[in-house]
Amino acid sequence: MSFERSWNAALRAAILASLAIAFPAAAQSSGGPPAPDPAAGGSFLDRPYSLTIGAGAAYLPSYEGSNDYVLSPAGAAFGKIDGFSFSTRGTSLSIDLIRDPKDAAVTFELGPVVSLRMDRHSHIKDPQVAALGRIGRAVELGGFVGIAKSRLIDPYDSLGVRLTWQHDISGVHRSAIWTPEIQYQTPVSLKTYVLLDAQANHVGAGYARTYFSVTPLGSLASGLPVYNARAGWKDYRLALLVGQVLVGDLRRPHLSLFAGVSYSRELGSARNSPIVAIAGSPDQWLAAGGLAYTF
């Protein structure tokens, strides 16, 4: 399985790629795990730097809207340097430029995000969709803003909302993507973490035409009917992840096992596209698992 295919799969599973590191990453936030025992000599969470690396495998659709599934490697990373956090989501990198006070009950985030979108660039399993031709890699640049409140149900949980905006700067789809997201996370013990995530994606007309339309020439090549996709809400996604520490605990460097599942539903013009309605499916399931280590 090629490197390009593995990152292509990781991109289409962006939500799982981000969740793959969320449970140790959350331990570094104000809504993290229980405070360390003073007798244990403090916690590595107090350090101004940290790094979490996750690696595993994902079982996911071969393209956005496909009903053919592939098994592919996936990876992600999260860290902080001098109070500034960064994280990867598949082939996306974001940096939080806001330093929040230690132990703050309400935290804020704001910063840039850059992504490389490779959906339908290669390894398309469905012959009709493959006949439509490959789509070039899209480079998307934008930003995000968010807020989180901790200590809602217990002293260590956190509920956050985020809004991300990105726009293609490479000339592939020439449009914007808006992504509102809400996430709840909590440790249920010193070794177990649970995270719930929900998001939706609103895409511009250029994105809809590029990834979901069928041109007259494409119809002749593929046998799919001509279709003109429109801007609007493309999908919603729900995800659950559970992390289990294998060595150590959430208060100090640890090795963790993670497992997650995500369901998304194509909406509106994307759902009605022949690429989805005939050659694929509006119901998209993703599953992932692997190991993560927090330094």
Percent of residues, the chain, with pLDDT higher than 90 = 63
Express each pLDDT in 110-120 by its tens digit: 999 999 999 99
Judged against a pLDDT cut of 50, whether residue 28 lies above it is answered with: no
Check which CATH number belongs to the domain holding 96 and give it: 2.40.160.40
Instruction: Look at residues 30, 27, 184 and name the one whose alpha carbon lies nearest to residue 104.
Output: 30
Judged against a pLDDT cut of 70, whether residue 74 lies above it is answered with: yes
CA atoms within 13 A on the CB side of 71: 4
- Comparing 118 with 83, the larger pLDDT belongs to 118
Confidence of residue 18 (pLDDT cuts 50, 70, 90): very low
Quote the CA–CA distance of 16 and 11 in Å, as a whole number: 9
How many domains does one find in the chain?
A: 1
Instruction: Look at residues 278, 284, 274 and name the one whose alpha carbon lies nearest to residue 229.
Output: 274
Q: Which domain holds residue 164?
A: 3-294
Tell me what pLDDT residue 29 has. 38
Express each pLDDT in 197-249 by its tens digit: 999 999 999 999 999 999 999 999 999 999 999 999 999 999 999 999 999 88
Kindly state the average pLDDT of the residues 60-66: 94
Instruction: Write down the pTM of the prediction.
Output: 0.83
Kindly state the average pLDDT of the residues 9-38: 36
Tell me what pLDDT residue 253 has. 87
Judged against a pLDDT cut of 90, whether residue 25 lies above it is answered with: no
Pairing between β-strand 232-247 and β-strand 176-187 as defined by DSSP bridges: unpaired
Count other C-beta atoms under 10 Å from residue 285's C-beta: 13
Tell me what pLDDT residue 77 has. 87
Tell me what pLDDT residue 236 has. 97
Tell me what pLDDT residue 48 has. 67
Averaged pLDDT of the chain: 84
